[in-house]
Structure 1
Amino acid sequence: MINVLRGLAHKYFSDEEAVILFLILVIGTVFVIWFGAMLAPAIASLIIAFILQGLVTKLIKLGVPELVAILSVFFVFLGVLVGFIFGLLPLIWTQVSNLAGETPRIIREMQSYMELLPDEYPHLISAEAVNTVYQQVSTEVGHMTQWLVSFSLSSIPDLVALLIYMVLVPILVFFFLKDREVLLGAVGKLLPQQRPMMFRIWHEVNLQCANYVRGKAVEILIVGIATYVAFKFLGMPYAALLSLLVGLSVVIPYIGAAVVTIPVAMIALFAFGWGSHFVWVMVVYGVIQGLDGNVLVPILFSEVNNLHPVAIIVAVLFFGGIWGLWGVFFAIPLATMLKAVFAAWPVKEFVPPPEPKHS
């Protein structure tokens, strides 16, 4: 056992930089786990600045002065944020409230559909099973309705915190963009002066994560807008709410699309019934998902090393278990970062000592 540990240490930690980097990763992970909720605005601002930095760099390469490029990108971000808060967010909240009001009717229609199943498929579904499922669904819907009713009172402190975040995040994003070199220089002073391995890993992580995060941001916008336009054209109710869910579902490949298909199909069924309109909605939704997976994703992520589906599912389960919803949201970027670190990590093969020659 001691020889095995000694061999692993020689293979992966023979370089001083590797030991320092390993300690940084461990300390950083523990720090985020313990203080992540407290520093949520700073972490969110850092991620947003990381996404916007690519636009700033492209403008600078086009000859735009650095300060003008930073201000232009920042004001675009500010405009999108204001539009989301005062335009899209009230619309989504209105549709959520309307959906809560329509819940009793949806439950009654669902019950009528479910009552027909034992007659049509008596060998597969029993009346007792239908009643059990109906009672469970009714209970869960009742809990959700109670939560919506009590939301306005119980979440006042959260709303105040959200308003504070809305002020802090733009300020932090601006300074992260403006003083990026100063902040990176301050962090660099804490590290060894000669760190070629860290530079190589930083380049790989920056390339992989930057391309992935920025690509996902663009993918969310394109898929969400395309879904909203298509659903609005087809007369689908709650188009804004559903398009937001469909857009966010691309953050978690495979799992997100499978989960969001359920509310899309249910609302289309209760709105139009079994018929051609329902079929058209599902066909258009399938076309959007197909174009996203087979056209948009290869274009946006051509420079990113794709993760295996098993790695994606494990990352979602692991980081979601640690950080909840935020862990699920950032599971793929974190897994991509770890993959980039492992790809650039120095590995020193063990060379056994030469055997002594016998005379």
Structure 2
Amino acid sequence: MTFSLDPVAIEPLLFGMVDTVRGPGLTPLRLPDRAFEQMFDEFSRAVASFSAGIRLEFESAASRVELNVTLTRHPLITGNTPSSFCLFVDGERVRTEEVPATADAGRVSETDTVTATVLFDISEALAPDRRSFQIWFPHDAKVSINLLRADAPVMPSSAAPRLRWIHYGSSISQCVDTPDPSDSWPAAASRELDLDLISMGLAGSCMLDPYAARAIRDTPADLITLKIGINIVGADAFAARSLSPVIHGFLDTIRDGHPDTPIVVISPVFCGIHEFTPGPTVMSPDGRWTAAGTGNLTLMDIRHALDRVVADRVTHDRALFHFDGRRLLGEHDSSHLYDSVHPDTDGYRMIASRFSDLGRVAGNDLHDAISAARTRHAEAGGAKAGGVEASKE
């Protein structure tokens, strides 16, 4: 017998999104739909539409699960590469299934839109009893879900609600450089620390934009991390005079909706070309990024500004924390920066491991923030899970 879920029935099983667009299918979004009209350009809208961190979570005894989806990709941004869906069962990676690209990556104006069925056949891998499923969506494509089919009933997770974690950052948080969405460091860290991730990693677009601050403000969260810096230097987006007030304003907006939620401000990871040389960042003929040096700020300037802002605010905001991003990737790890800016897959795995380890071990602000968030979450009793119904065929 086949059990089918249409988009209405699928929506309660979706995690990692803050909004949805309903059409022929269901498109989950990491930012509110209204924010897209306020974005700077089509590049910003494209990367914001990608489904980084979005996943389906449910319980089932199924041995076959099919997703019918429509993908929209941008070859100019991600290349003419496949997009992957990654299945975890009871916390273990079981299958990764790819949807091949169909567009010509050399045609810069072309998007690649394809409807496909993604099949996870796990009949040989699992015993026939109810298990916990997690399907991570591509972090390099917009996904619209048309239908889910399974050979056993699909039910909402019965696990206790987890700590809701919003993470805001750049391409180093969106991690489109790694082929598997589950290898993005926020996704891996969320599994290690048992957190319910909403990834607001926005490649090239982590610019302290008001729409991002409002999205964080308006989204329920137990823990918020803000990894700020590399895009500001790379685009030469601010001068010293404007940066600190903008950081304060971004935090003020978030605090309007989260007056007591632990917030961790994370300074940039190491990036040799910009440690002491301003932006903008430009591409060299060999495919590596270099620093033009004609801009206003270096990464050291960003770190000093973040230090000052947090120091000014912690006297009246005891739920604000600061964490040095170089503890995640430092100068001695620079061999992982394959293009001088972005980590390779092993680099992302290293960041995830260090983030998770530091989150568990006392003696640093990241651990203190997570501990405070867990305490508040437990005292509040968490949130209640939703329900879903399936139709039989």
Q: TM exceeds 0.5?
A: no
- TM-score (normalised: structure 1): 0.28
- TM-score (normalised: structure 2): 0.26
Work out which structure has the larger RCO, using CA pairs closer than 8 Å and 6 or more positions apart in sequence.
1
Which structure shows the higher helix fraction? 1
Which structure shows the higher strand fraction? 2
Q: Which has the larger radius of gyration?
A: 1
